[in-house]
Amino acid sequence: MRTGRKRLSGRSQACPVDERRRGRAIMSTATKLLCLRPADPIRLETRRTAMPRPGKGEVLVRVEATSVNPIDVKRARGYGQRLLSHKGAGKFPLVLGNDFAGEIVSVGAGVSPWRPGDRVMGLVPTGRKGGAHATHLTVDARLVRTAVDGVASAALAAFPYTFTTLWLALRGAGINEGNAKAQKVLVHGASGGLGQLALQILAAWGASVTAICSTANIELCRNLGATAVWDRTRCRLQELPEHFDAGLNFGAWEDEATLIGRLRHGALGYVTAVHPLLGNIDRGGLLAGAWRSRLDWRRMQSLANAKGARYRWIIFQPDEGALDMLHHFLARGALTLSVGVSVSIDNADLAFEHVANHKQGRAILLPMGALSS
Ligand SMILES: NC(=O)c1ccc[n+]([C@@H]2O[C@H](COP(=O)([O-])OP(=O)(O)OC[C@H]3O[C@@H](n4cnc5c(N)ncnc54)[C@H](OP(=O)(O)O)[C@@H]3O)[C@@H](O)[C@H]2O)c1
């Protein structure tokens, strides 16, 4: 992967120091990681910008860690551009990233209870303002939660985006703590970020989870709570029993009809995160792409409905309830997501490469690392 990077060479070059609070420099400029244009190899560059100021209801956060997810790699290559442009989020250069862990620097009008110095984690919506791949960002104070004590920012930042999507998926499938016990749940893409969180939560709720993954990840899925593991590289999905109460597809849209076919009659629900909505619109434009997606959705919905199951497509969006639940699980030490690589933003290409090559473990950027190296 080639990158058009502008290296930061040290703290002195980074920013003038206005004052010191809590022993830390208050910067007058921020650094953002820009994705320059839709391309493969991905084109990334760091750029200095004016320090953002928190508006009413916002906090300014010094980002200590932020994650690179599959959607960031796809968007960097142009995926989703046509639909996201309608939200003001498709225009390059783009700042990607949907979550972060860090420290509050200042708060806007009407914000409580946050104070400068609070350690937090949070979510950034996909929108006009740009994402979390930066040294500093302003964010709606409602999308911030207290960082869990004893968990490093690099570990925390792996969670908010992935957990929120997973939480929306569980909700979409109609699975909750109250009804999960003894339910048979099929999870495709079980060894990925969404899948790993699904395994841990569903196992904790007493569900019986069948994980679909490739050979190398069988042990990982077992260790995270799968009751059975199906090696997708050796066994056909059609041979899975037709007895599942719910299905979560985090693996591949191509397998959608087959997986729905594995639900039992009277099943609860089925959810996919790997639907073709954005891809259809990229290929066909807004109207034709939306129409194509409606046909795709209707076809799968009728298969699910024939089993008595509800059918949903998940689209990530910030969710305060999900953030509350994330804090709840993390505070109990009940969730893990291994980090495969963590690098400063001036080495962001390594993190994007890690995700693009489907390597195990999450990819984390350490924006302030760029300033202190
Ligand atoms: N709709 C949304 O808003 C939304 C939000 C978040 C994520 N997503 C999408 O959901 C998917 C999962 O996200 P993630 O963060 O968990 O990704 P991830 O960490 O990259 O994991 C995906 C897993 O899927 C499996 N896989 C890869 N290629 C596959 C294929 N052709 N067929 C079946 N399984 C395959 C891989 O495991 P094995 O090789 O072990 O099977 C991989 O670990 C990604 O495609 C992501 O873009 C969508």
What integer pLDDT is reported at residue 88 of this predicted model? 82
Residues 6+ apart with CB under 8 A from 211: 187, 190, 191, 195, 199, 221, 222, 224, 226, 228, 229, 230
- Looking at the CA of residue 277, tell me the nearest atom of ligand 1: 1
Percent of the chain predicted with pLDDT > 70: 92
What integer pLDDT is reported at residue 26 of this predicted model? 61
Helices (H), 332-366: 348-356
Residues counted in the chain = 373
For a substitution probing ligand 1, which of 72, 75, 214 has the most ligand atoms within 8 Å of its CB? 214
> Does ligand 1 come within 6 angstroms of the Cβ of 193?
yes
Which CATH number is correct for 11-158+337-372, 3.40.50.2000, 3.90.180.10, 1.10.10.10, 3.40.50.970? 3.90.180.10
Quote the ligand 1 centre to 16 CA distance (angstroms). Answer: 42
All CATH 3.40.50.720 domain ranges in the chain, comma separated = 162-313
All CATH 3.90.180.10 domain ranges in the chain, comma separated = 11-158+337-372
Tell me the residue ranges of DSSP E strands in 129-177. 136-140, 144-146
Q: Whose CA is nearest to atom 12 of ligand 1?
A: 250
Q: How far apart are the first and last CA of the chain?
A: 23
Quote the ligand 1 centre to 194 CA distance (angstroms). Answer: 7
Quote the ligand 1 centre to 221 CA distance (angstroms). Answer: 14
Please, are residues 183 and 245 in contact by the beta-carbon 8 Å criterion?
Answer: yes
114-140 tens-digit pLDDT: 999 999 999 999 988 889 999 999 999
Would you say residue 1 has pLDDT above 50?
no
Would you say residue 354 has pLDDT above 70?
yes
Look at residues 368, 370, 356 and name the one whose alpha carbon lies nearest to residue 68. 356
For a substitution probing ligand 1, which of 161, 191, 223 has the most ligand atoms within 8 Å of its CB? 191
| Enclosing H/E stretch for 58 | strand 58-68
- In which residue are the tokens 């790993």 written? 196
Distance of CA 13 to the CA centre of its chain: 32
> Does ligand 1 come within 6 angstroms of the Cβ of 166?
no
What integer pLDDT is reported at residue 314 of this predicted model? 97
Please give the Cα distance from 276 to 294 (Å, whole number): 10
> Does ligand 1 come within 6 angstroms of the Cβ of 158?
no
243-297 tens-digit pLDDT: 999 999 999 999 999 999 999 999 999 999 999 999 999 999 999 999 999 999 9
Which CATH number is correct for 162-313, 3.20.20.140, 3.40.50.150, 3.30.420.40, 3.40.50.720? 3.40.50.720
Q: Provide the Cα torsion 143, 148, 153, 158; round to 10°.
A: -70
> Does ligand 1 come within 6 angstroms of the Cβ of 195?
yes
How much is the mean pLDDT over the chain?
Answer: 92
Cis peptide before 116 (omega within 30 of 0): no
